Amino acid sequence: MLKKLTQEQQDQILERAIEEFGKNGPERAAVSEIARRSGVSVGVIYKYYQNKEELFDHCLEHSIELLSEVMNDAVSGETTLEGTFEKLIRACITFSKEHAPYIQMYHAITHTRDGARRYAQAIEALTASTYTRVLKQAQQDGQIRGDLDPGICAMFFDNLLMMLHFSYGCDYYRERMALYCGNTDDEQIVRQMMLFAKGALTGKRP
């Protein structure tokens, strides 16, 4: 009989799995490698997860929960769109630095064919509804232009945040950011992104 794992051991398996999925994608990731790096047998992992897809889904759910907490903290209690955007940008940078394997896993999903619709709905549904709601309210309050479509602009803003995630969490995009920005520090990135977003949404020179 297999010995039951402690919560710490289960968490370790989850983190090693996220790293493996981020490195190789959900299709090519190897459960044997996850087991080896976790210090357990493959049989132990399959005691907790029916198959690799279930393990991946659990990793995805875990990362979405963590990212949702970060996002909800950023949008709660703010009355101005500018303040909300700044908190989201800063949270994006911090999350990507602290949880780079999570970002790499998201990136791996973007070029997978199997389950693309399901993964997109799982990851994007919350951000799409939240950003659209925030922009609609800002429009009603007169903080942004009235001729903008909140849903489309929400996608544009999320595109910026997604690329910011990749720029801090994935090697290729780190090099890309260095090429464009040189040795720019985080504060300059925040300031410039705020100027860019404010100009686009208000139609006024910041």
Domain presence at residue 51: no
The CA dihedral of 183, 161, 123, 10, to the nearest 10 degrees, is: 30
Predicted local distance difference test score (pLDDT) of residue 171:
94
Inform me whether the pLDDT recorded for 30 exceeds 70.
yes
Domain presence at residue 20: no
Please, what's the b/e burial string for 110-147 (b: 16 or more CB within 10 A of its CB; e: otherwise)?
Answer: eeeeebeeebeeebeeebbebbbebbeebbeeebbeee
Predicted local distance difference test score (pLDDT) of residue 113:
66
Average pLDDT over residues 6-16: 93
Task: State how far the Cα of 169 lies from the Cα of 198, in Å rounded to an integer.
Answer: 25
Predicted local distance difference test score (pLDDT) of residue 47:
92
Answering whether pTM is above 0.85, one says: yes
Task: State how far the Cα of 7 lies from the Cα of 90, in Å rounded to an integer.
Answer: 31
Domain presence at residue 26: no
Domain presence at residue 52: no
Domain presence at residue 17: no
Domain presence at residue 131: yes
**Residue 196 CA, distance from chain mean position:** 21
Domain presence at residue 27: no
DSSP for the chain reads -PPPPPHHHHHHHHHHHHHHHHHHHHHH--HHHHHHHHTS-HHHHHHH-SSHHHHHHHHHHHHHHHHHHHHHHHHTT--SHHHHHHHHHHHHHHHHHH-HHHHHHHHHHHT--TTHHHHHHHHHHHHHHHHHHHHHHHHHTTSS-TTS-HHHHHHHHHHHHHHHHHHHH-HHHHHHHHHHHTT--HHHHHHHHHHHHHHHHH-S--
Sign of CA dihedral 88, 90, 92, 94: negative
Domain presence at residue 106: yes
- Full residue range of the structural domain in which residue 123 is found: 61-200
Average pLDDT over residues 101-106: 93
Average pLDDT over residues 20-31: 92
112: CATH: 1.10.357.10
Domain count, the chain: 1
In 10 A of CB 202, how many CB atoms?
16
Higher-confidence residue of 46 and 72: namely 46
Residue type at position 122: A
Longest C-alpha distance within the chain, in Å?
68
